[in-house]
Amino acid sequence: MTIKLHDITRPADLKTHSQGTGSVRQHIPEYVDLLPPCNHSCPAGENIQAWLALAAKEQYHEAWQVLVADNPLPAVHGRVCYHPCESDCNRSQIDNPVSIHAIERFLGDMALRENWQIDIPNPPTSKRVLVVGAGPSGLSVAYHLARLGHTVEIREAGPVAGGMMHFGIPAYRLPRDILEQEVARIEAMGVTIKYDCPVTDVIADKITGIFDAVFLAIGAQLGKRIDIPAREAGKILDAVSFLHQVETGDAPQLGKRVAVYGGGNTAMDAARTAKRLGAEEALIIYRRDREHMPAHNFEADEALEEGVKINWLRSISAVDHDKIEVEVMTLDEHGKPQATGETETLSADSLILALGQQTDSRFLRKVHDLTFKADSSLVVDEQMMTTHTGLFAGGDMVPGQHSVTIATGHGKKAARHIDAWLNDSVYTPAPKHPVVGFERLHVWYLSEAERQHQPHKAPETRSYDFSEVVGDLSETEAVFEAQRCFSCGNCFECDGCYGACPEHAVEKLGEGKRYRFDYQRCTGCAVCYEQCPCHAIEMVADKS
């Protein structure tokens, strides 16, 4: 493997000004903390680099405590998050990104095996908060509010917690016992979850329950439908309802040939589920090509491995019993599908529509001062409060991209704003450090370290049941993978600056305390800066 090492760059004035002690010293080194791109990209706001560093040192419980400070469901997220952190990982410029999701899952699973519980760092308050919906944003906001000392009650319309994590993500991706155990840990903190308890009048429930604030987290559990001309319609289902029926043990009869219309992750799940229910053929019909599909590549790869077929650049124009007429599409220069007039006929016993989801917010229409978008999502301000004072909302209830991790991040953010509002204050997040890109690293020390891969069940056997497809890393693999992290922008006490300084101007302060510069000895030569692998040192103007 050829390793491309970063060409060391230095500030332009360091190259032109003379260096030395006293009046000719132009710059001095300064320790800094920059923002690693993984942290920056995490929708849940995890301090990924910090818990990776602890996992690399086999301090698993400490790593998990850092992780759950931001995310209460690490075993779940290690399985279902689409890990944008890895897409932005600087290590990908060398070989492969760190398998962050696999290490998160390793820690989450270890916590369940060891029965680790959550600490509540704040004393109880007298404030009560009602959360409507026990999906990812509802569970997250309840968890964070409980850690802040508030009393939280979740009212869930269904019989179990999890929302679309339970009814929308198949068990082969998220085993139900994993989800249930992480929910139980939240309940063990004192969070009350009332099941089969739909909220029909949120203002009345707020008053009668003596709640100080409400967080709306009902999710998007209605499948979108479109009008397709049908001379004699066959069996047509929406993907959300279909997956829900499968989960409740009431799976519909699909027949031997199943078509799925859509190109997102839900379409992939619906087709893979159809195969597990006995369909001999599962065909996805999508109007764009693979490059433009919303589904993640690994989702499409796993579907194809299991025998799902994908008919790209096709749009359904009519349905007649078991015949589906599709029109061939082409993409214009903007990647948008355009009709060609050419048609084909496909055969299918069932058609599943996987065209997205929307929120059922009809019960909120009686709250006269709420403001809605055209898609029924709620308008919220920067504090995530709706236009009705004391009513907050997050997850699929608000405009934006929808995913489990985004919803979890909404819950954490909302908890901070709700806590501030309950205390007659306004939460202001601390300013973020600049993001450190690969071009700022000095990876001179790098040795070959290939990414560790999670085991997968064989494609020829896994599509016959709903057992989990992807396995866990071993402890050795997880530690090795964590050690692949560059610690971008933050000192990891490698002693490089300490060993490189010719003037002995770098002082070690002890494990975990990093270093200090003795500017009486420092000549401003920048050797420490040039060798620092993670760019935790900047050269700044000497104003002494």
Domain ranges of the chain: 12-33+491-541, 39-116+444-478, 128-221+359-422, 225-354
Q: In the predicted model, is pLDDT for residue 287 greater than 60?
A: yes
Tokens 């929406």 sit on residue: 238
Q: In the predicted model, is pLDDT for residue 231 greater than 60?
A: no
What is the per-residue pLDDT for 362?
A: 76
What is the per-residue pLDDT for 373?
A: 81
Q: What is the DSSP code string of 323-387?
A: EEEEEEEEE-TTS-EEEEEEEEEEE-SEEEE---EE---GGGTTSTT--B-TTSPBP--TTSB-S
What is the per-residue pLDDT for 5?
A: 37
Q: In the predicted model, is pLDDT for residue 19 greater than 80?
A: no
What is the per-residue pLDDT for 445?
A: 74
Residue 341 and residue 332: Cα distance in Å, rounded? 15
pLDDT classification of 221: cutoffs 50, 70, 90: low
Helix (H, G, I), strand (E, B) or coil at 223: strand
Within 10 angstroms of residue 158's Cβ, the number of other Cβ atoms is 19
Helix (H, G, I), strand (E, B) or coil at 153: strand
pLDDT classification of 395: cutoffs 50, 70, 90: confident
Q: Which CATH number fits domain 39-116+444-478: 1.20.1250.20, 3.30.43.10, 3.10.290.10, 1.10.1060.10?
A: 1.10.1060.10
> What is the gyration radius of the CA atoms in the chain, in angstroms?
27
Q: What's the chain's average pLDDT?
A: 90
Range with the largest mean pLDDT of 4-8, 14-18, 19-23, 269-273: 269-273
pLDDT classification of 403: cutoffs 50, 70, 90: confident
Q: Which residues pair with 538 in a beta bridge?
A: 30
Mean pLDDT on 34-39: 97
Residue 374 and residue 394: Cα distance in Å, rounded? 17
178-182, 338-342, 397-401: least confidently modelled range: 397-401
Instruction: State pLDDT tens for residues 474-531.
Output: 999 999 999 999 999 999 999 999 999 999 999 999 988 999 999 999 999 999 999 9
pLDDT classification of 230: cutoffs 50, 70, 90: low
What is the per-residue pLDDT for 374?
A: 77
Query: How much of the chain exceeds pLDDT 90, in percent?
Result: 79
* Residue 131 near residue 124, CB atoms below 8 Å: no
Burial of 140 (0-12, 13-18, 19+ CB in 10 A): buried
Residue 484 and residue 61: Cα distance in Å, rounded? 20
Strand 230-233 relative to strand 314-321: parallel, antiparallel, unpaired? Answer: parallel
Q: Which residues fall within 8 angstroms of residue 264, CB to CB, at 6 or more apart? A: 293, 294, 295, 354, 356
Instruction: State pLDDT tens for residues 118-152.
Output: 989 999 999 999 999 999 999 999 999 999 999 99
Does the domain spanning 128-221+359-422 belong to CATH 3.50.50.60?
A: yes
* Residue 97 near residue 298, CB atoms below 8 Å: no
pLDDT classification of 448: cutoffs 50, 70, 90: confident
Tokens 């923002």 sit on residue: 35
Instruction: State pLDDT tens for residues 148-176.
Output: 999 999 999 999 999 989 999 999 999 99
**Of how many residues is the chain composed?**
544
Residue 152 and residue 142: Cα distance in Å, rounded? 6
Instruction: State pLDDT tens for residues 232-254.
Output: 666 889 999 999 999 999 999 99
* Residue 98 near residue 51, CB atoms below 8 Å: no
Say whether 128-221+359-422 and 12-33+491-541 share the same fold.
no
Instruction: State pLDDT tens for residues 412-424.
Output: 999 999 999 999 9
Element at 50 (helix H, strand E): helix 48-56
* Residue 27 near residue 542, CB atoms below 8 Å: yes
Q: In the predicted model, is pLDDT for residue 336 greater than 80?
A: yes
What is the per-residue pLDDT for 434?
A: 95
Backbone φ and ψ for 134, nearest 5 degrees, come out as -110, 35
Burial 352-370 (b: 16+ CB within 10 A, else e): bbbbbbbbebeebeebeeb
* Residue 179 near residue 171, CB atoms below 8 Å: no
Residue 197 and residue 161: Cα distance in Å, rounded? 12
Whether the CA torsion 353, 355, 359, 362 is positive or negative: it is: negative
pTM of the model: 0.90
CA 452 centroid distance within chain: 20
Higher confidence at residue 544 or residue 116? 116
Architecture of domain 225-354: 3-Layer(bba) Sandwich (3.50)
What is the per-residue pLDDT for 24?
A: 73
pLDDT classification of 473: cutoffs 50, 70, 90: very high
Residue 135 and residue 160: Cα distance in Å, rounded? 10
Mean pLDDT on 459-464: 89
Mean pLDDT on 45-69: 97
What is the per-residue pLDDT for 223?
A: 65
Which fold is adopted by the domain 12-33+491-541?
Alpha-Beta Plaits (3.30.70)
